[in-house]
Amino acid sequence: MKLLVRWLVVAIGLAALPAWGGVRPRYGGTLRVAMAESLASLDPADAGDMVARARVTPLLFDTLVRVDAEGRGHPQLAVAWQADRSYKRWQFWLRPGVHFWDGGPLTSESVVAALSGRAEWKARADGEFVVIESEASRPGLLAELALARNAIVRRVSAGGLSGTGPFVTKSFVIGKSLELAANDASWGGRPFVDGVQIEFGKTLREQMVESQLGKVDVIEVGAEQIGKAESEGRKAQVSLPVELVAVVGGPGKAKELDALSLAVDRKSIQSVLLRGGSEAAGGVLPEWMSGTGVLFPVQVDLEKGRAALKAGRPGSAVPTKSVKPLTLSCDAGDALARLLAERVALNAREVGLPVQVVTSSGTTSGDLRLMRIPLGSGDPGVALEEVGRAVGVKVAAGLSAPGEIYLAEKKLMDDGGIVPLFHLPLASLVGERVRGFSVDKLGGWGLEEDWVEGQ
């Protein structure tokens, strides 16, 4: 039934696209994809490489539910659910007839095994149902369950992984490449393409060159490249702003971080370096998600910035030479991060804060770090938890009311020493032979819905 619906949706979409409206979806071919991040493993529970993991995991492993940017839950391995009035106990009805790649059936016990070990809740099997209980109210549990790290995985012998997703693993070279084959037994229907080849660790520049040469079909595009790509006649698929760019220094550098926040000319950087492809950020969450972005100012105030560097005695200013120089680290492989860090350091010097930019491979860091943190969810409470995990700060669970979201956001910035700078969208480009491709509002790829024309 789902396959029939898929065909109907695609047919309706084709009618609106005159350039290839007469072309019907076809099976076969291989979709070639390039990504900047590199995966050290395919295990959804592993940390790091959040953008790549969020895009690769759904190809292999399903979650109980999917949640869109508006917070609506959609069935995946669970077809229905309900919560008690306190949102402390949830019950899920599983989709019947689903099997893992190794042939094992999806059962309540296999789901509980996949979700075990979580500190946030406890899952248990209740006959054909899965029950999840927590001590705290969790109105945003669906959004938590939709995160890639909560995908349902069957762990088989010799450390292998088995999933229920639309593709199966053919080969995986750590940090370099991943080859997938269509899962003929997928509960959602067989994908149109026979397989997907993913290359990891490709810079955005390398991706663009390979795309222009016709060597790849799907690439990522930096926020600063969106306008240039579209000026060349290539329409980028763009998500909502779902990635936070911030300077993180920890709670011990409060006065320096306050001065830095007041010194950074976000709007100028947004216009010149990011070419308008972003939003200036004073808070952790983007305006579309929280509705409270206006409460976190982004204006430059050099006078207040200089005052923030005072030694703490009223009326006593600290000479520039007495302020300890700080290092600001950024990812050595991220050209945009380096540009942003250099401009932040330049602005910081205008309030008397000496900052030197250093690059890092990820194993070392400076006094301050320029971080790019995917928010991971359209639910503001869950997004705050994800940012907290990235900077090592625990955020209270079950947040949903605007007032408590605002207070938690402010506390996270203080406790984590976070200076938000920008919110970036995730953008993608596809080659001429790709059909059916789209980026959802959170930046996800539905590659199982794509097909390719020609060889």
- Report the alpha-carbon distance of residue 148 to residue 449 in Å, rounded: 19
Cβ atoms within 10 Å of 393's Cβ, excluding its own: 21
Amino acid code (one letter) for 6: R
Angle among Cα 210, 215, 220 to the nearest 5 degrees reads 50
Q: Is the dihedral of CA 195, 429, 384, 69 positive or negative?
A: negative
For the chain, list the domains and their CATH numbers: 62-158 (3.90.76.10), 240-425 (3.10.105.10)
Cβ atoms within 10 Å of 434's Cβ, excluding its own: 19
- Report the alpha-carbon distance of residue 128 to residue 108 in Å, rounded: 6
Half-sphere exposure of 323 (CA within 13 A, CB side): 28
Compute φ and ψ for 170, nearest 5 degrees: -100, -45
- What letter would DSSP give residue 319? P
Q: Which long-range contacts (CB under 8 A, 24 or more apart) does 312-319 make?
A: 312/255, 318/352
Partners of 92 in beta bridges = 81, 130
- Report the alpha-carbon distance of residue 41 to residue 59 in Å, rounded: 14
Per-residue pLDDT of the chain (455 residues; tens, 9 = 90+): 444 434 433 443 434 343 444 467 889 999 999 999 999 999 998 877 788 999 999 999 999 999 999 999 999 999 999 999 999 999 999 999 999 999 999 999 999 999 998 888 999 999 999 999 999 999 999 999 999 999 999 998 877 899 999 999 999 999 999 999 999 999 999 999 999 999 999 999 999 999 999 999 999 999 999 988 888 888 899 999 999 999 999 878 899 999 999 999 999 999 999 988 899 999 999 999 999 888 998 999 999 999 988 744 344 444 445 677 899 999 988 999 999 999 999 999 999 999 999 998 765 578 999 999 999 999 999 999 999 999 999 999 888 888 999 999 999 999 999 999 999 999 999 999 999 999 999 999 989 999 998 75
Cα Rg of the chain, angstroms: 23
* Residue 204 · residue 387 · CB < 8 Å: no
In whole numbers, what is the pLDDT of the chain averaged over residues?
89
Cβ atoms within 10 Å of 73's Cβ, excluding its own: 17
- What letter would DSSP give residue 378? S
**pTM across the whole model:** 0.89
How many angstroms separate the Cα of 349 from the Cα of each of 91, 260, 326?
55, 9, 11
Q: Read off the tokens for 120.
A: 């946030």
- Report the alpha-carbon distance of residue 399 to residue 385 in Å, rounded: 10
Output the DSSP codes for 402-442: HHHHHHHHHHHHHHHTEEEEEEEEEEEEE-TTEES--B-TT
How far out from the chain centre does Cα 222 lie? Answer: 14
SS3 of 361, please? coil
- Report the alpha-carbon distance of residue 34 to residue 218 in Å, rounded: 6
